Amino acid sequence: MAIMIPAWVDGNLQPVEKLEAHLRGLKHKAISVFVMSSERILIQQRAMGKYHTPGLWANTCCTHPDWNEAPDTCAPRRLNEELGITKLPLHHRGQVEYRADVGGGLIEHEVVDVYVGEALGDLSIAPNPDEVMATRWVSHTDLRAQLKATPAAFTPWLHIYMARHSDMIFGAMAAP
What does the pLDDT look like over 88-109, one tens digit per residue?
999 999 999 999 999 999 999 9
Q: Which of 20, 74, 110, 131 is catalytic?
A: 110
Q: 74: part of which helix (H) or strand (E)? A: helix 71-83
Q: Does the pLDDT at position 6 exceed 80?
A: yes
Angle at which helix 156-164 crosses helix 140-149, to 10 degrees, equals: 130
Q: Cβ distance 68 to 165 under 8 Å?
A: no
Residue of 171 and 167 predicted with greater confidence: 167
Q: What is the predicted pLDDT for the residue at 175?
A: 52
Is residue 61 part of the annotated active site? The answer reads: no
Is residue 62 part of the annotated active site? The answer reads: yes
DSSP state of 91: E
Answer yes or no: pTM beyond 0.75: yes
Q: Does the pLDDT at position 176 exceed 70?
A: no
Instruction: Work out the pLDDT band at 1, boundaries 50, 70, 90.
Output: low
Q: What would the mean pLDDT of 30-54 be, rounded to a whole number?
A: 96
Query: Which residues face 117 on adjacent strands?
Result: 35, 90
Q: Does the pLDDT at position 10 exceed 70?
A: yes
Which is nearest to 83 in space by CA: 64, 63, 55?
A: 63
Does residue 165 sit in helix, strand or coil? coil
Q: Report the DSSP pairing between strands 61-63 and 57-58.
A: unpaired
Q: What is the predicted pLDDT for the residue at 43?
A: 98
Does residue 10 sit in helix, strand or coil? coil
Spell out the domains of the chain, with CATH numbers in brackets.
4-168 (3.90.79.10)
Q: How far apart are CA 60 and CA 146, in angstroms?
A: 16
Does residue 66 sit in helix, strand or coil? coil
Which is nearest to 68 in space by CA: 154, 7, 147, 133?
A: 7
Q: Which of 62, 74, 82, 108 is catalytic?
A: 62
Q: Cβ distance 5 to 21 under 8 Å?
A: yes
Q: Cβ distance 36 to 118 under 8 Å?
A: yes
